[in-house]
Amino acid sequence: MIQLNYISKFFEEVTAVDSVSLNIEKGDIYGLLGPNGAGKTTTIRMMMGIIEPDAGEIMCNGNLIRQDDRLNFGYLPEERGLYQKQKLKETLQYFGRLRSLSEKGLNSEIDMWLERFNFSNSANRKIEELSKGNQQKVQFILALLHKPEFIVLDEPFTGLDPLNQVLLKDIIQEKREEGVTFIFSTHQMEQVERLCTNICLINKGKVLIDGPLSDVKEKHRKNAVTVRYEGDLSTSELARFIPDHQIENGELTGVLKSSPAEFLEWLNKQVDILSFAQSTPSLEQIFIEEVRAAS
């Protein structure tokens, strides 16, 4: 279990992380979300020990986190950090030795992952000869190689085609069933909805939402609507009620900022309403609504 208790980080006059508290349970896939500059990467770097918090504390399994605990972390950073002139298998061996893995166990583990990612015929290729997507897969292997208890993934699906995205998700689910805990940061909301059990949305260093994904979506359910209609809608007027809306083939979806009664009174004067339903909003809709409200 990882706990962040009121951690803060300041860079000169900028508060990058502002008294953030999180509880990440064993075996969780925890989504850490937020717009650019929200403080996600700074929070991750503090968890990893790359930088230290200026206030607050980070706990691991009930105790203040130590460097020894962080040896049990795997990390896939958003920025690639591979040696471009080094060969693929040599890269994996080098990082495995940095993790103090035995030569025999290390080579066995490497061969398994090379086969799993269809790299068996690329073991002697230089990193620079691999595509961006394949380099991303190499970094994912490096996060898993030493069989860590906690794995931090910062934008893990960058550069991956749909088939390889499915492969990564399958492996994440397999490892979760083994009790591995994932902390997952991304802008791809659809991936969060498919993978995560709990989420935290931060903006300008502060927590806006924290809890089970199902609870978050249910809480916002009353504001999401789907309307089927006939006629023409004035989208400029519609934005007063639903700032971010989608219209396709006579169906309107979005999240209300006004009461349903007020919206329906206006809408009934514009078009013929065929059906009106309140629905569960997408995580992307919730994300936009919460960040705009906070701003």
All structural domains of the chain = 2-211 (3.40.50.300), 221-279 (3.30.70)
pLDDT at 236: 82
255-266: per-residue pLDDT in tens? 888 888 899 999
H or E, element range at 141: helix 132-144
DSSP for 248-292, please give it. Answer: ETTEEEEE-SS-HHHHHHHHTTTSEEEEEEE-PPPHHHHHHHHHH
pTM over 0.85: no
H or E, element range at 4: strand 2-11
* Rounded Cα–Cα distance for residues 277 and 96 (Å): 54
DSSP for 109-168, please give it. Answer: HHHHHHHHTT-GGGTTSBGGGS-HHHHHHHHHHHHHTT--SEEEEESTTTT--HHHHHHH
3-state secondary structure of 220: coil
Average pLDDT over residues 162-179: 94
Evaluate the CA torsion angle 203, 28, 76, 73 in order and state its sign: positive
13-68: per-residue pLDDT in tens? 899 999 999 999 999 999 999 888 889 999 999 999 999 999 999 999 889 999 88
